[in-house]
């Protein structure tokens, strides 16, 4: 199989790699600078690709795969919208890249990509039923069932941050109320160290645990992987979540699931984007 060029477009940075047989052979990082607008971000992506391809003929690549922090229309290859990329609505990113480089090009959501990344290269290797949560300024999710990414017919599966965990909770930017994401957000503001922050982290962990109980009861996963910036807090956040799952989830499923921190850090998405490309029929 030829190498894949993969890109992870996040709200703060763009990571681009060329990956060959599971090994990163070239990598470049730059800031997204999303406030400069859509065209400026797209130009930055294209010039990063050009730079990485300086010594490689595009015909030596299998494909290009883009993971984007936003809602994706998988079939049409659109970035539908993104809370992290102001002004992006129905952007034809896949076809723009495909036409420029004349290569098979794929586009998927970054949390879905991160789930695939951890499944292929990280803590979830060999685990065929896993759910990944990226806990940062929001909560993203990716679902692997029987070793395959589950997208749903619209490509919008895995919006675990917007599962309701409090019917009377605060309102969320998605239009619903009491979403997991709104209840966990207080935890993001917390700074580890003082006792108030520890209480807030424990509270966030408990909310996260309630969200996980729903996942465990629905999917009976072998593993729930927690990544994203907030995951660096580690067991301070995960222990309360594990406790809630143990107490409240269906017992046979609660015993089967391991709740673990992600392993690949900020490379999970870009590695997963490459894995996604390699999984596609051709």
In the complex with Zn ion, the residue whose CB is nearer, 117 or 211, is: 211
CB of 179 to Zn ion, least distance (A): 3
Helix 38-52 to helix 93-101 angle, to the nearest 10 degrees? Answer: 30
**Which CB sits closer to Zn ion, 165 or 260?**
165
How does 181-200 read in b/e, with b if 16+ C-beta sit within 10 Å?
A: bbbbbebbebeeeeeebeeb
DSSP secondary structure of the chain? ---EEEEEE-SSEEEEEEEETTEEEEEEEEE--GGG-HHHHHHHHHHHHHHHGGGS-GGG-SEEEEEESSEEETTTTEEEE-TTSTT-SSB-HHHHHHHHHTSEEEEEEHHHHHHHHHHHHSTTTT-SSEEEEEESSSEEEEEEETTEE---TTS-TT-GGGSBS-TT--B-TTS-BSBHHHHHHHHHH--TTSHHHHHHHHHHHHHHHHHHHHHHHHH--SEEEEESGGGGGTHHHHHHHHHHHHHHS-HHHHHH-EEEE-SSGGGHHHHHHHHHHHHS--
Choose between 145 and 157: whose C-beta lies nearer to Zn ion.
Answer: 157
What's the closest the beta carbon of residue 159 comes to Zn ion, in angstroms? 8
- The distance of closest approach from Cβ of residue 211 to Zn ion in the complex, given in angstroms and rounded to an integer, is 12
Least gap, CB of 168 to Zn ion (angstroms): 14
**Min dist. Cβ of residue 166 to Zn ion (A):** 11
Nearest approach, Cβ of residue 161 and Zn ion (Å): 7
Q: Which CB atom, from 174 or from 197, has the smaller least distance to Zn ion?
A: 174
Nearest residue (CB) to Zn ion, 124 versus 161: 161
Residues that bind Zn ion (CB under 5 A): 162, 172, 174, 176, 179
C-beta closer to Zn ion: residue 172 or 223: 172
Residue 176 beta carbon to Zn ion: minimum distance, rounded to whole angstroms: 5
Which of residues 26 and 174 has its CB atom nearest to Zn ion in the complex? 174
How far apart, in whole angstroms, are the C-alpha atoms of residue 4 and residue 22? Answer: 10
């Amino acid at each position: 199989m030829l190498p894949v060029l993969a890109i992870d477009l996040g709200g703060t940075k763009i990571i681009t790699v060329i990956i060959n047989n599971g090994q990163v052979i070239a990598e470049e990082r730059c800031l997204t600078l999303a406030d400069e607008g859509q065209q400026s971000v797209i130009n930055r992506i294209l010039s990063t690709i050009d730079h990485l391809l300086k010594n490689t003929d595009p015909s030596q690549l299998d494909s290009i795969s883009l993971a984007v922090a936003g809602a994706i229309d998988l079939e049409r290859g659109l970035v539908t919208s993104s809370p992290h990329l102001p002004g992006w609505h129905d952007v034809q990113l896949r076809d723009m890249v495909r036409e420029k480089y004349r290569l098979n090009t794929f586009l998927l959501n970054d949390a879905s990509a991160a789930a695939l990344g951890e499944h292929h290269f990280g803590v979830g290797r060999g685990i065929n039923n896993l759910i990944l949560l990226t806990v940062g300024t929001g909560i993203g999710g990716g679902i692997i069932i029987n070793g395959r990414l589950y997208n749903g017919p619209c490509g919008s599966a895995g919006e675990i941050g917007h599962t309701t965990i409090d019917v009377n909770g605060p309102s969320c930017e998605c239009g619903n109320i009491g979403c997991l994401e709104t209840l966990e957000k207080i935890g993001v503001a917390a700074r580890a160290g003082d006792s108030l922050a520890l209480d807030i982290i424990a509270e966030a962990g408990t909310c996260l645990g309630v969200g996980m109980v729903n996942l465990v009861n629905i999917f009976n996963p072998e593993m729930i992987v927690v990544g994203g910036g907030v995951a660096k807090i580690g067991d301070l956040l995960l222990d309360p979540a594990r406790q809630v799952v143990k107490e409240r989830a269906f017992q046979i499923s609660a015993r089967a699931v391991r709740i673990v921190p992600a392993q690949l850090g900020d490379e999970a998405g870009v590695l997963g984007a490459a894995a996604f490309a390699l999984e596609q029929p051709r």
